[in-house]
Amino acid sequence: MNNWVILKFGGTSVSSRERWETIAEQARRTLQRGARPVIVCSAISGISNSLEALLRTAVSGDHTSTLERIVARHELLAEQLEVDVRAAVGDELDDLARIALGASLTREVSARLQARTMALGELMSTKLGVAFMNRIGVSTAWEDARDALCSEHEIGVNEQRHYLSATCAFDPDEALQARWGALPADVVLTQGFIAADDQEVTVLLGRGGSDTSAAYFAAKLQASLLEIWTDVPGMYTANPRAVPTARLLKHLGYDEAQEIATMGAKVLHPRCIDPIRRFNIPLQIRSTEAPDVEGTRISADIPDFGAQVKAISAKNGVVLVSMDTIGMWQQVGFLADSFAAFKANGLSVDLVATSETNVTVSLDPGANALDPSTMKALLRDLAPYCHARQIGPCAAVSLVGHNIRAILHQLGPALEAFEEQRIYMVSQAASDLNITFVVDEEQADKLVNKLHTLLFHERVTDALLGPTWKETFEGERHESHAPKGAWWVAKRDELLAVCEEHEAAYVYDAATLEARAHSALSLGANRVFYATKANSNPGILRRFEALGLGFECVSTGELDHVRESMPKLDPDRILFTPNFAPRHEYVEAFEIGAHVTLDNLYPLEHWGEVFRGRSILVRVDPGRGKGHHKYVKTAGPKSKFGIAPAEMARLADLVAKYEVDVVGLHVHVGSGIRTPDTWAENAAFLAEVARDFESVRVLNLGGGLGVPEKPGQRPLDPAAVATALGRFRDANPQFEIWMEPGRYLVAEAGVLVAQVTQTKSKGDIRYVGIATGMNSLIRPALYGAYHRIVNLTRINDRTTMVADIVGPICETGDVLGHRRRLPETHGGDVMLIATTGAYGRSMSSEYNLREPAEEVIL
C-alpha cells in the first residue's frame, strides 16, 4: 500500500525556476518521509486569464498579440527551466494556434471549446515541469488528470455548468491507486482544474478548481495528507493584505476552514473541504515563499481552543433584497412564493433575516450573476407578493469561530466598532459558526481593522495563533510593547529611580509640557486658556504661566488654586466657565476681575443684579456633541451645557434689561476630539449666532483637542487645525479667537508608574497587581478608556503573557488594563501607564483611604 501525499501548487508557485526548485525539494522531502508525492499544478499565473482573453479576442478577429504573449510566457519558463519548449509543449502551442484561428473564423466559442482551451494552461505547465524534474534527477511521471477524474453526470444541468463548472465523484479509487502505484517513477505530476466527462470530453472544475482537484485525488487515493502550496502560508485572522497585523491560524477544524473560505478568504477554495473531511484527511496550507513556516493545519483532531472568534472576513459586492410584507402577516406560503422567484431567476440566497413584516435576504456575488437585468426581473417577479427593493452593493463582515453563540456576551466591546455604522442586516448562522453584519461597502475595511484590533491585538503567540504576515515576510520581530520615540522610553532610568522612592507616582516631563504648550499656541487662536481641570499641579501651571497661557477655571476652588499658585497672575488671564454653579461663585469671579462665561439663563433671570453692567461671554449649544465617550460629549439635546440658539432672543431681552455686554460667545462640544475641522466648524457656528449680538468680539472655540490613546490611532494634526482656523479668520477678521484646551497640553507629558505588588493566576486569567488603582486613575473604570501599559523594568523583553493589570481597590472594576500583552512580570517590577497626564491625578480620590499617586516633574 502506498502512503500517498498530495501536494498542490497554485499559479504563482509554478511560474519560475526558483518555484520549481521548491516543488522538487518538497517532492524529495515527501519521499524521504516514506510517502509517495502526487503533485497537482495550476497553469502559470495569469495564463488562465490570457486563455480566456485569447478566445474573446479571436472572436473579434484580433488575437495575434494575445497568442504571442502566451507563447512567450511558456518560452521564458522553458528557458529558465532549461528544457526544450518545442519538445515539451510544442503540440499544445500548435493546438492553441489552431483553436484561435478556428474561433476567429467561426466567430463563436462554445463552452466545450472553452474547456478544451483552458485545459491547455495546466497541460503546458505540468509538461514543462515534468521535463525539469526529470532533468534535475527527480524521477517523475506525467499523468493526465482527465484519465483519473470523471465528472458527474447531472441531469438537467446546462452546458455552461457541464463543461465549465463540473463536479466529480471522489470515492476511494482502487484502480487508480494500483495504476499510479505501479508507475516506474517516484513522483506523479498531474493537473488541477481539469477532468473529463463520461464521453471523455474535457471539462473544468470551475475557477479555483485546482484545490478541488487536489482534494479529489486525496480522497480517491486515500492519501495521508493534502498539502496546498500557495503564496500565503495559511489562513489568517483577517486578510493579511488588508490587515498587516493579521495572525496566522495554526489549526482549524474542517467546518471552520470551510466557513472562513466561504466568507471571503481566497487562500482555499471552499469546495475542496468536503472530500477531505469525508475521509478525515488532514490538509496543510504552506507557502512557496516561506517554505519553513508550518502554515495552517486543517483536520478533525484539532486541540480544543474553546469558543472564540478565529477570523474576521469581509466580502464585497453583496446585494440585499428587502421584502416588506405588510398585510402578509401570518400568511401561509409567503416564503415559498417569494423564494420561488429567486429560484426562477437562477439566484442562490445566502443569508436570511426575517421579522413579522419584513424578510431580507443577501445574494452572494460569488454564487450569482447579479447583473441589472436579472435583478430587475427578480423584483418584478416578487412584486405580487411584497414590496421588494434592492440594497447595495454592500459588504458582509463576518466573525467566524466555533460556538460563537456562547461568546456573544464577550463581543460587547468589539461591537462598539459598529457604533457609527449603518447595519442593514445581522445574521447568525444556524451552524453556530459565524455572525455576519451587512454594512456599506466603503465601511468594510475600516470595520475589519477595528474589530481585528479589538479582538486580536492583545493576543500572544500560542497554540492557535502564529506570527503576523509582516513577521513572516519582513522578518519583523514581535512588536516591542513600548513605542519608539516616547519620552518615557528615553527617560526610563529616571522613572525607575522615582519608583525606588515611591510605590506609585505620576511623573511629568517638563520638555513635553513646554512643547505641547507651544503647539497649542500655534493653532491660530489669539489667546489660549489652559483648562486647569485637566491637571492642576502647581509646577505645571507655573510653567504654562511663564509661556504666556491663560487659565480656564470652572469653580471657585480652581480660581483660588490658580491665584495661590501664581500670585502675580493678571486676572485678565483667568476665564471662569462654570456650569450650574451657585450665585456666590459668579460674584467672586467678577470681584477678582476674571472673564465670566454664562451657560444658562437662570443666573440672569434670578440673580440679574450680579451681572448688571458687566461684560460676559455666553456658552451656546450647537446641537451636536463630539468626544471619546458619551460622558464627555458636552453639547446636544442630552447634555446639560449651554444655551440653545432658540433661547438667544430671551437672552437678548435679559442682557438689555441688566445692561450686560455680551462681548464673547463660547462653544465647547466635547473632549478627546481628533477631527481637525471641529474648531473651525465651532467658529462658523458662533459667527452665525454673533449676527444678533453686535457687541460680540470674542469667539471662544472651547477645548477638546484629543490625543491618540490606543495604538494605531492617528494623532490630531495641529497644522490642519491651524489651517482650518486660518481660513475662518481670513474671512472673519473682526473676531478675536480664544481656545481653552486641557488634555492636549498635558496628557502625553504624564505617566503613572507603580510597583508590582503581587501577581496571580485564577482560572484562565492572569493578574498583575500594582500599588495604586482606580483611586489614582479612574478613566478605565469610568469611560472604558485605554491606556498603554508596559513593564518598564523589562521594556525590551518579548511579550509572552497576557494579563489584567489591577489595583488594590476593593472593586471588581479596579482594572487599569484588560488582557494586555506583557513580558513575564514579577513582584517589584515597575509598570508604566502611559498618557495619564490629563484627568489622571485631577480625578483621583482617597477611596479606600488610599492616597493617590504622588506627583513628580522631571
How many residues in the shown chain lie near ligand LLP by CB under 6 A?
A: 22
Task: Please give the biggest Cα pair distance in the chain.
Answer: 109
- One-character DSSP codes across 600-662: -SHHHHHSHHHHTT-EEEEEB--S----SSGGGB--STT---SB-GGGHHHHHHHHHHTT-EE
Q: How near is the Cβ of 762 to ligand LLP at its closest, in Å? A: 30
By the rule CB under 6 A, 705 interacts with ligand LLP: yes
By the rule CB under 6 A, 839 interacts with ligand LLP: yes
By the rule CB under 6 A, 704 interacts with ligand LLP: yes
d(CA 505, CA 832): 10
> Can you tell me which of 634, 682, 825, 844 binds ligand LLP, judged by CB under 6 A?
634
Q: How near is the Cβ of 589 to ligand LLP at its closest, in Å? A: 14
Q: Tell me, what DSSP letter sits at residue 676?
A: T
> Is residue 474 within 8 Å of residue 289, measured between CB atoms?
no
CB closer to ligand LLP out of 264 and 703: 703
CB closer to ligand LLP out of 450 and 779: 779
By the rule CB under 6 A, 191 interacts with ligand LLP: no
Residues 6+ apart with CB under 8 A from 764: none
Query: HEC profile for 406-435?
Result: HHHHHHHHHHHHHCCCCEEEEEECCCCCEE
Q: How near is the Cβ of 802 to ligand LLP at its closest, in Å? A: 26
Q: Mark 559-598 with x for binding to ligand LLP (rule: CB under 6 A) and - for no binding.
A: ------------------x---------------------
Range in contact with ligand LLP (rule: CB under 6 A) among 87-95, 293-301, 696-704, 848-856: 696-704
CB closer to ligand LLP out of 257 and 635: 635
Instruction: Using the CB atoms, write b or e for 437-460: b if 16+ within 10 Å.
Output: bbbbbebbbebbbbbbbbbbebee
| Of residues 525-564, those binding ligand LLP (CB under 6 A) | 531, 534, 552
By the rule CB under 6 A, 633 interacts with ligand LLP: no
Ramachandran region of residue 137, left (φ > 0), alpha (ψ -120 to 50) or beta?
Answer: left
> Can you tell me which of 103, 465, 632, 771 binds ligand LLP, judged by CB under 6 A?
632
Q: How near is the Cβ of 567 to ligand LLP at its closest, in Å? A: 24
> Is residue 457 within 8 Å of residue 238, measured between CB atoms?
no
| Of residues 395-434, those binding ligand LLP (CB under 6 A) | none
d(CA 825, CA 488): 19
Residues 6+ apart with CB under 8 A from 499: 505, 753, 754, 755, 792, 830
| Of residues 25-44, those binding ligand LLP (CB under 6 A) | none
Catalytic choice (41, 386, 499, 810): 810
Q: How near is the Cβ of 717 to ligand LLP at its closest, in Å? A: 16
By the rule CB under 6 A, 73 interacts with ligand LLP: no
CB closer to ligand LLP out of 740 and 748: 740
CB closer to ligand LLP out of 449 and 634: 634
- The yes-or-no answer on residue 810 being catalytic is yes
| Of residues 764-803, those binding ligand LLP (CB under 6 A) | 779
Q: How near is the Cβ of 521 to ligand LLP at its closest, in Å? A: 14
> Is residue 152 within 8 Å of residue 169, measured between CB atoms?
yes
Q: How near is the Cβ of 808 to ligand LLP at its closest, in Å? A: 22
> Can you tell me which of 578, 622, 741, 807 binds ligand LLP, judged by CB under 6 A?
741
CB closer to ligand LLP out of 640 and 650: 640
CB closer to ligand LLP out of 209 and 550: 550
Residues forming beta bridges with residue 191, ordered by sequence position: 41
- One-character DSSP codes across 148-210: T-BB---TT--HHHHHHB--B-----HHHHHHHHT-SSSEEEEESSEEE-TTS-EEEB-TTHH
Q: How near is the Cβ of 41 to ligand LLP at its closest, in Å? A: 58
**How many Cα neighbours within 13 Å face the side chain of 298?**
31
CB closer to ligand LLP out of 240 and 703: 703
Q: How near is the Cβ of 700 to ligand LLP at its closest, in Å? A: 8
By the rule CB under 6 A, 703 interacts with ligand LLP: yes
Q: How near is the Cβ of 633 to ligand LLP at its closest, in Å? A: 10
CB closer to ligand LLP out of 243 and 632: 632
By the rule CB under 6 A, 740 interacts with ligand LLP: yes
d(CA 389, CA 430): 25
3-state secondary structure of 525: coil
Q: Tell me, what DSSP letter sits at residue 471?
A: H
By the rule CB under 6 A, 744 interacts with ligand LLP: yes
C-alpha cell at 379: 423584483
Q: What Å distances lie between residue 835 and 516, 706, 711, 796, CA to CA?
A: 13, 11, 12, 20
> Can you tell me which of 129, 233, 642, 672 binds ligand LLP, judged by CB under 6 A?
672
Residues 6+ apart with CB under 8 A from 155: none
Range in contact with ligand LLP (rule: CB under 6 A) among 29-37, 237-245, 469-477, 837-845: 837-845
d(CA 411, CA 684): 40
> Taking each helix axis from N to C terminus, what angle separates 334-344 and 372-382, rounded to the nearest 10 degrees?
150
Q: Mark 652-671 with x for binding to ligand LLP (rule: CB under 6 A) and - for no binding.
A: ----------------x--x
Residues 6+ apart with CB under 8 A from 494: 858
CB closer to ligand LLP out of 170 and 839: 839
d(CA 703, CA 528): 9
Q: How near is the Cβ of 535 to ligand LLP at its closest, in Å? A: 9
The residues annotated with a catalytic role in the active site are 810
Footprint on this chain of ligand LLP (rule: CB under 6 A):
531, 534, 552, 577, 632, 634, 668, 671-672, 702-705, 740-744, 779, 838-839, 843
